[in-house]
Amino acid sequence: MFDKIINKNDFTSLIKDGMVIMVGGFLGCGTPETLIDLVLASGAKNLTLICNDTSFVDRGVGRLVAAKQAAKVITSHIGTNPETGKQMVEGTLNVELVPQGTLAERIRCAGAGLGGVLTPTGVGTVVEEGKQKITVDGHEYLLELPLRADLAIINGSSVDKAGNVVYNATTRNFNPLMAMAASVVVVEAEKLVEPGALMPELVMTPGPLVTHIFKSEKR
């Protein structure tokens, strides 16, 4: 087992202009806030953010949007962050709205090595624009392609030094899916423990999927 624990400088060195970043969380619940602090401090621009929602102006992914570090967001919901809508209307932020279940499946497809998912959601609406439609047993489906990122930043309630992650209650949300769909995965650990301290049956993200561990400064 190699040392997966990194510091602020190590993490900041991973951030590049124009990269695609997946951010775990659901309206700020289960979001790696310290890592977002560091992305903010890096000043990286033209980021593409893949996230369930853009949270709030002063919380989670919303802070990156407010700082105008994102060029595009791929998300299912922007209603709680008026800054996202404002930038979208002004034409300074490209917002790709994806139905929540479809978003989850597109991320899962990338992690599972699948070529996409067929879904009836969006057929006959603006969602189908520019997408391939496939008929199966007389029913029309949209082919939704996988979503993969250069970097995934996720949050873990308890993480051992091998990178095994346990999520508390609803903090799980998109974090396990995103841990499978990025080239580099960094988990922000609320609590860092020794290998063997976690109950195996509670581990939702196994250590081999985690590239680096960062000890949270929020708790």
Tell me the per-residue pLDDT of 128-146, one tens digit each, with 9 for 90 and over.
Answer: 999 999 999 999 999 999 9
- For the stretch 1-60, pLDDT in tens is 568 999 999 999 999 999 999 999 999 999 999 999 999 999 999 999 999 999 999 999
Strand partners, 136: 139
Tokens for 77, please give them.
């919901």
Confidence of residue 219 (pLDDT cuts 50, 70, 90): low
Question: Which one-letter DSSP state was computed for residue 59?
Answer: B
Run of H or E including 191: strand 182-193
| Confidence tier at 217 by pLDDT (50, 70, 90) | confident
In CATH, the number for domain 18-117+147-215 is 3.40.1080.10
Six-digit token string for 7: 């510091």
Give dist(CA 52, CA 106) in Å, integer: 12
**What global pTM score does this model have?**
0.95
Q: Which of 81, 80, 79 is nearest to 70 (CA)?
A: 81
